[in-house]
Structure 1
Amino acid sequence: MSSSTSALFSPIRVGSIDLQHRIVLAPLTRFRAHADHVPSPQAPAYYSQRGSAPGTLLVTEATFISQNAGGYDNVPGMYTDAHVEGWKKVTKAVHKKGSFIFLQLWALGRAAETAVLAKENNSPYVSASPIPLPGKPDIPHALTTEEIKEYVATYAAAAKNAIRAGFDGVEVHGANGYLIDQFIQDVSNQRTDEYGGSIENRARFALEVTDAVVEAVGAERTGFRISPWGVFNGTCMTDPKPQFSYLAEQLRKHKLAYIHVVEPMPAEITADKNSDYLRDIWEGVEGSTFISTNGHTRNSAIETVDRKGGLVGFGRLFMPNPDLPFRLLKDIVLERGDQATWYMNGNLTSAGYSDWPFAPENGQQQISRI
């Protein structure tokens, strides 16, 4: 189908915001923040470039909700006034382009690097259960019920800080084997209390976090990301469908802005391995939508939106193509990028980050409304 007739380039309402197309910047960890987790001085340019097509939805790189929730160097945070002030520069730049931006809320759990935890705050190494990350010797401390409640409150506090910083909403990171996903998945959760042992109990932490965030900032400002088929950080249940069906059914009741699903890679999608069962659950939620992410091309994005609706997230293609919505609309050849610049820990320059040019067809780096 041609771009001129594809729904990929048509408006859609998500929560309380009106987008002009269905192309989303998916979260991309870049390790470009200051040592104190204040966003890079290049971050306003980086994000505003990717929001240069008015009415674009951007989701930030995963951002720590607290010092204890961290465990990586050079990742931004949202738990100090300095973080709020740093992010204000980003949201202001994005809004000046006429686009919208959600902050992704992150806690690492057993994916954290223990040396970084020790260096920063001597923070505890935690997870749902005392099960080490595959390939790592460290055994995490299983969070107590009281500690879980503290994490729930911390997510809500970070969400409030995000709104104070000017964000249009927040995305709860419940994917890719990080703390919330460690509770959801039976491969990392062997608890026997109210947070483990059954589908309902394994979903409890995720749902309590969602309850708290929704109460703090509103359902229309809240999204949730999951990766049912993911294998990162030692995840991958034998059959994820019952667990994630229940989770989606419960999340649906909130009428969130969206659910963001990391799909299997396109070559891995089969009749049994896909996310259509989640679309079926989510369908019909007024004001909410479904974001599909993972390895999409222009053609697969057009096919997905035209056949199934919702939005499509792009990650790696957005790195070297800051004007990706324009390029996809006009079917302009895409830059493939330089993998060596994906992760440049602590590099506060524009190199490989905010120095990628717009397509020459854009003229003076301005993109008209699409």
Structure 2
Amino acid sequence: MFLKKQKSESLMKMRTGARGETIPDPGSQKLLWNKPPLTVLVVKKISDEEALSAFKQLVCWLIEEKKMVVFVEVSVLQDGILATDSKFQQIKSKINSFKEGEDDLTNKVDFVICLGGDGTLLYASSLFQTSMPPVMAFNLGSLGFLTPFNFENFRDEVSFVIQGNASLLLRYRLKCVVCKKDSLCSVTPVKHIDRSQSQVKTHALVFNDVVVDRGPAAFLCNVDLYIEKKLVTSVQGDGLIISTATGSTAYAVSAGASMVHPNVPAIVITPICPHSLSFRPIVVPAGAEIKVVVPPEARNSCWVSFDGRNKQELLHGECVKITTAQYPVPSVCAKDPMEDWFNSLAECLHWNVRRPQKAMSSTVSSASITSLDSVDLSS
């Protein structure tokens, strides 16, 4: 178990009239354990030899040196290469296995370690549809925007996190519910909808984004967008991306959205190839209820996916309702939330990379360059 600490001395005070308010310093979020973590879930990128080598080293070290209880997915343990590894076979009997969709890991795991890329972290998030323990992500993937740790010094890095006081970033998730046509859940606030209701087709917590698009249809996607029960606009184009601040640097940024720091409590709404020059991405407050409906007059149905998974058809009259989930993903930082994010922008997206402007010659004054008198207009 863990606690998030905010030091009172690191709060910035803001006065509004006679009432005092505080804005938390993003760097003040720290990981504190109520007691040392005893159980750890290790999630590995599939079909990757580099990740497999790292997985063997990490699991053996956690069991033999740290005396921790390790959970691993059954499909990972069935890898043929592991069956020929004599050292791994000696500790295999000490590993607890589980199957996605069958075993509930809630309240069984204190700590999560991911070995892979951003997709591995998204998958780990999907395993916890309520509260999620702190997650530490090692970059063994293609991009690594969300995975700030390098595996070379994994023993020191993991030991430091287990000891506590590491920087923590709470990444907001979205609660998403697909409601059947003319069902009561289509008018019930999404925060009150439970996954057990028969009128609910899908109930999911989303880390990056929900995408509503035209799927295989040749026609434009036509959906109505509601925010806080008010019709905001009708969307005609290839679709909509509704993302968390974390997801703003994924599909949304490719579609023209601004990049939003994960600490910002917001939901980003981005059109995909809109058939309008004035339809720009917008940012709404976290907690706002968003509803996307396929109207009866639409030429075709639409499709919806959640973090790129579980793609399904949205029929006429059906809707997807979205708001900020009450269960974030506590991500352990390599340094701190601000430095990690800007390092990812620079290293992964090459944000604002260009050749620097040459320095001005000392023999030429700035006045001579900007003055019209110095320009030979006869030429």
TM-score, with structure 1 as normaliser: 0.26
Greater share of residues in helix: 1
Larger Rg: 2
TM-score using structure 2 length: 0.26
Query: Which structure would you say has the larger RCO, counting Cα contacts within 8 Å and 6 or more residues apart?
Result: 1
